[in-house]
Amino acid sequence: MAEAETPIPDERHDQIFPSLEPADVARARRFGVIRRLAAGAMLARAGEVGEGLAIILSGTVFIYSHDSFGQRQHILSFGPGSFIGEMAQLAGRPALNDAEVREPAEVLILVPERMRALMIAEAELGERMMRALILRRVRLLKAGVGGPIIIGPAEDVNVLRLEGFLARNGYPHETLQAETDVEARSLLERFHIDPGQLPIVLCPNGNLLRNPSETELARCIGLVGPIDPTRVFDVAIVGAGPAGLATAVYAASEGLSVLVLDCRSFGGQAGASSRIENYLGFPTGISGMALMSRAYSQATKFGVETAIPNEVIGLDSPEDPITGHFILQLADGERVTARSVVIASGVSYRRLALENFDEYGASSVHYWVSQREAKLCAGQEVVLVGAGNAAGQGVVYLAPHVAKVWMLARGEGLQASMSQYLVDRVSALPNVEVLTRTELESLEGEDGLLSAVRWRRAASRQEERRSTRHLFLFIGADPNTMWLAGAGIALDAKGFVLTGAQAGENRRPLETSQPGIFAIGDIRSGSTKRVAAAVGEGAQVAAALHAYLATRAERKSQIPDRSDPVQAAERSA
């Protein structure tokens, strides 16, 4: 049984730390390898990729977290019938904490591939273990245990950037304030860090990064690694939103090898939604991040490989679509080879055409609302621009946390662009003021931080100024198709990808003008901009992929093998 040494409230303790019965262990044995370990042996080291998950057959294992000084803190004890690991082990990524054998132990090691096989073959046992892995990650996120440590000023642009990146990718982390935290100041003195070099990041593997890019941080913590240039995937999916993840789950569960790439994080626009209330099966609603985290975990369970963040900058089609392969060019110079491609790259948030907009974009302008943004804005006045469903959801989520929300809409009202249930809810909020026929005119601030905005109302034509440190934009988005330039993919007048009959004769549903390349979700011309529609297209395109790959294999088998002397003799005859 697992016992918390450093108390962290757990409402679902028995699900987070289930005790496996002897019958459960017996069923798991055929998927693992038994190891006998002496006291002091390490089952896992923070920042390093281990063998996988471990079921304890005998002995005791302690789990330790690391503080910013590298000192270990005992947080959990595991005994016979417990298993060690969380989502990092299932995905084959570096561990977040140390696992040390305290008494001689016998353990059953399940490498990621065999653990996934167990979850599919032993559904009931696999369900309990999968639930525990997910809840353990949630627990680590809430407690800030494991993962990198960010040190820098509280509202520094780059601190906010790095925090946002880790939060969107569901990765535990801790932030220490350089100005007020004694521990942070001691570390800066210890490493001789000049304030101008902040923020710094201490990775679990011991590396220290100075104001890293998101890609540098991702590689340091093991979120993304090198891609095997010799491997040919059945399908490469560009975009990890609901459409891309749905495709990954359905394709991988049916035996295809799948790689998902995204330039930022999983979840897409859906992942940024504060609450989705009209998704089938969730009558009380669900946050976009929670829904997309479940989808990402589900994809991991079926063996989907991910490269996030990893930006695709180009697509090359083969001269011979039957024998050749598609090549995706990545921003870091790597290449991905695949037999088929699914474009699910969605859309990019629109920005305001204001003169000094870029000065405040990284620190004070937000395109989604989550717990992190609500915490940043707590007790303050904020301005939100937009009148669609996403804007309404954002207002509803923010209102309980802030002093006031100024909602600016260009149109005559909200009814034309927002679901009625959201219109009613926004109207009922006492600290929300909706200004229609109003447009933002200018931004004010200094040192990259916003201090005030000015807007103009059409009725009076008078300009009004309001102090605020945070601006939320929900003004629509444009198709993310720049990376398709030169790929020969037909687009409509607005830049969305044409599919099916619109893309050309004899095209499969969701297939683009290039055979073997499919488009789904928001990027597709004529798509319904709803999470459920995107998931549906992900399921539909999986069937189309199977049909395409089967046809491709059949045609390839009919091409004579010119290296075969028997076939060569038959051709000569």
Q: Does domain 149-221 have CATH number 3.40.30.10?
A: yes
- Work out the average pLDDT over 115-121: 96
Closest CA to 32 of 150, 119, 155, 94: 119
Domain 232-348+478-557, CATH number (from 3.90.226.10, 3.30.70.20, 3.50.50.60, 3.30.70.890) = 3.50.50.60
What residues does 473 pair with on adjacent strands? Answer: 385
Cα separation of 147 and 166, whole Å? Answer: 9
Per residue in 305-323, pLDDT tens?
Answer: 999 999 999 999 998 877 8
pLDDT band at residue 12 using 50, 70 and 90 as cut-offs: confident
Contact 84, 53 (CB under 8 A): yes
- pLDDT, one tens digit per residue, over 452-510 is 999 999 878 889 999 999 999 999 888 999 999 999 999 999 999 999 999 999 899 99
Mean of all residue pLDDT scores within the chain: 91
> What is the model's pTM?
0.88
Rounded Cα gap, residues 448 and 157, in angstroms:
7
Which of these, 154, 75, 61, lies nearest to 106 by C-alpha position? 61
Which residues, listed in sequence order, are joined to residue 464 by a DSSP beta bridge? 455
pLDDT of 127-175, one tens digit each? 999 999 999 999 999 888 889 999 998 778 889 889 989 999 999 999 9
Q: Is 217 helix (H, G, I), strand (E, B) or coil?
A: helix
Q: Using 50, 70 and 90 to split pLDDT, how confident is the model at 563?
A: low
Distance of alpha carbon 176 from alpha carbon 232, whole angstroms: 43
More confident residue, 349 or 104: 104
Is residue 487 within 8 A of residue 312, CB to CB? The reply is: no
Give the residue-averaged pLDDT of 376-399. 94
Domain with CATH 3.50.50.60 in the chain: 232-348+478-557, 357-475
Q: Bridge-partner residues for 77, per DSSP?
A: 3, 62
DSSP string, 355-420: TTHHHHTTTTEESS--HHHHHHTTTSEEEEE--SHHHHHHHHHHTTTSSEEEEE-SSS-STTTS-H
Q: Which residues contact 65 (CB under 8 A, 6 or more apart)?
A: 6, 46, 72, 73, 75, 97, 98, 145, 146
Split at pLDDT 50, 70, 90, the class of 6 is very low
The CATH class of the 357-475 domain is alpha beta
Q: What is the CATH number of domain 3-143?
A: 2.60.120.10
Lowest mean pLDDT among 41-45, 237-241, 269-273, 294-298: 269-273
- What is the chain's Cα-based Rg? 26
